[in-house]
Structure 1
Amino acid sequence: MSNWIDLNQDAATGIESVRAHFVGHAYDPHWHDSVLVGVTEQGVQQFNCRRVRHQSTPGQVFMLEPGELHDGHAPTAEGFTYSMLYLDPHWLERELRAVFEQVPAQALPGFADTLSGDPVLAGATLRAFHALHDQELRIVRQTASDDLLAALTRHLHWRKRLHPDPRLPLTAQRARDYLHAHAHQDIGLEELAAACSTDRYRLTRAFKAAYGTAPHAYLIQLRLAQARQWLAQGQTPADVASRLGFADQSHLGRWFRRAYRLTPADYRRRCTKLPD
């Protein structure tokens, strides 16, 4: 069976629903600015995340926080199939604060574990996926989403908002903030290092230790995350490439395909139903 991707987006919440099948190499290391919750349906889904190699088998739920670097690979010949939801973190936090009677002040929701064999969570995830993906009645979609949130609460932990984070090198955090503020610009390592009052070699080592990837790769992921948002809003790939500082549309397309296995035009069409 060849690789395929079926993607839809719920207009009311912005939640993306993706069902996909991959054989062999699925996608390069990348991260999302969404919260990912999905279920492996068939095969073995192997991926590296949080510096650990995971293998998700049928019925297991995988949960990734925004910014968590991960890849994808099928270690067996039949490949793997999964159904997954991309949850907007602002929507999730707002909804969770309605579910929890008491939420710690200045706290963010996170996942204690990347993989879970909880059958209640797996069932709730699949029901929410189908309700959103198949564009059921609004009351059905809302009920399924509420059930998913209730199931997720058993796997959440709240962590304090820390900036800067004392667990990470200050140099790396300064570099990350600079990349976020200048993501559309043609940034050089010397410029980035100067903004952090260090040299390029110390900067790169600190950044890799903190975020698991080099500054240039992080910058590409920043641009791709923004590209997804703008494409989903209906902007053309050419305009998105220009606004984000890619050399041209094909340059954006090469990076986009490596991360998401879709072309920017195809992703835009699936989210907006607009023609290419």
Structure 2
Amino acid sequence: MSNWIDLQQDADTGIESLRAHFVGHAYDPHWHDSFLVGVTEQGVQQFNCRRRRHQSTPGQVFLLEPGELHDGHAPSADGFTYSMLHLPPQWLERELRALFEHAPQQALPGFADTLNADPQLAAATVRAFHAVHGKELRIVRETASDDLLCALTRHLHWRQRLAIDPRLPLTAQRAREYLHAHVAEDIGLEQLAAACNTDRYRLTRAFKAAYGLAPHAYLIQLRLTQARQLLSRGQTPAAVAARLGFADQSHLGRWFRRAYRLTPADYRKRCTYLPD
């Protein structure tokens, strides 16, 4: 069976629903700005995340937080199939705070484990996926989403919202802030190192240790996550490429396909239903 992807976006919540099948290599390392909740339907889904290699098998739920670097690979010849929901952070936090009457202030929700074998969570994930992906009535989609959130509460933890993470080198955090502030600029390593009061070699080592990517690779991933946002709002690939500092539309397209296995035009069309 060849590789395929079926992706849609719910207009009311912004939740993306994706069902896909891959044989062999699926994804290069990348991250999303949404919470990922998915179920492996068939085969073995192998991926690296949180500095560990994971293997998700049928019935298991995989849970990833925004910004968590991960890849994808099928270690067996028959590949793997999965269904997944991309939950926008603002939507999830708002819904959880409505569900948790005494949710801690200045805290963010997070997933305790990357893989989970809870059958109730798996069933709730499947129901929510089919309700959203199948464009069921709003009351059906909302009920399924509420059931998913209730099942997720057993596997969530709250972590403090910190401006500076004491676990990570300060140099790396300063570099990350600089990249976010200058995302569309043609930034050089010397320029980035000077902004962090260090040299390019120490900067690269600290950044890789903190975020698992070199600064240039992080900048590309940052541009790609913003490209997804802009494309889902209807902006054209050419306009997005120009806005985010890609050399041209084909340059954006090459990186976008490596990360998401879709062209920017196809992603835009699936999210907005606008013609190319």
Relative to the length of structure 2, the TM-score reads 0.99
2:205 is paired with a residue whose SS is helix
Residues 114-145 of structure 1: per-residue CA shift (max 9 Å, x gap): 00000100010111101000100000000000
One-letter identity of the residue aligned with 2:146: D
Tell me the distance in 1 between the aligned counterparts of 2:199 and 2:136. Answer: 55
Structure 1 stretches of 4+ with a deviation exceeding 6 A read none
Q: Which amino acid aligns with 2:221?
A: Q
Q: Within 5 Å, which residues of 2 pair with 1:129-140?
A: 129-140=129-140
SS in 2 for 1:95: helix
Counterpart code for 2:127: R
1:150 matches 2:150: yes
The aligned residue for residue 159 of structure 1 is 159
CA displacement, residues 164-204 of structure 1 (integer Å, 9 cap, x when unaligned): 11111000000000000100111100111111110010101
- What is the correspondence of 1:174-213 to structure 2 with a 5 Å cutoff? 174-213=174-213
Deviation sequence 1:147-176 (CA, Å, 0-9, x none): 010000000000001121111100000000
Q: Name the counterpart of 1:244.
A: 244
- Find the aligned partners of 2:149 and 2:177 in 1 and give their Cα distance: 31
1:98 correspondence with 2:98: yes
**Aligned residue identity for 1:77:** A
Q: Secondary structure at the match of 2:108?
A: strand
User: Deviation of residue 113 (structure 1)?
Assistant: 0.3
**Residues 253-268 of structure 1: pairs in structure 2 closer than 5 A:** 253-268=253-268
Letter in 1 for 2:185: Q
SS in 1 for 2:168: coil
Deviation at 1:103, TM superposition (A): 1.1
Aligned partners of 1:4 and 1:200: how far apart in 2?
41
Identity fraction in percent: 84
Gaps of 5+ in 2: none
1:35 aligns with 2:35: yes
Q: Does the residue aligned with 2:269 lie in a helix, a strand or coil?
A: helix
Work out the CA distance in 2 between the residues paired with 1:204 and 1:147: 44
Q: CA deviation at 1:101?
A: 1.7
Aligned to 1:54: 54
Deviation at 1:105, TM superposition (A): 1.7
- For residue 158 of structure 1, give the secondary structure of its aligned residue in structure 2: strand
In structure 1, how many angstroms separate the alpha carbons of the residues matched to 2:213 and 2:122? 31
**Number of aligned pairs?**
276
Unaligned runs of 5+ in 1: none
Question: Counterpart of 1:87 in structure 2: which amino acid?
Answer: L
Q: Given the alignment of the two structures, is residue 7 of structure 1 paired with residue 7 of structure 2, yes or no? A: yes
Q: Any idea what the Cα deviations from partners look like across 1:47-96, whole Å, max 9, x if unmatched?
A: 00000000000000000000000000000000000000000011101110
Structure 2 letter corresponding to 1:141: R
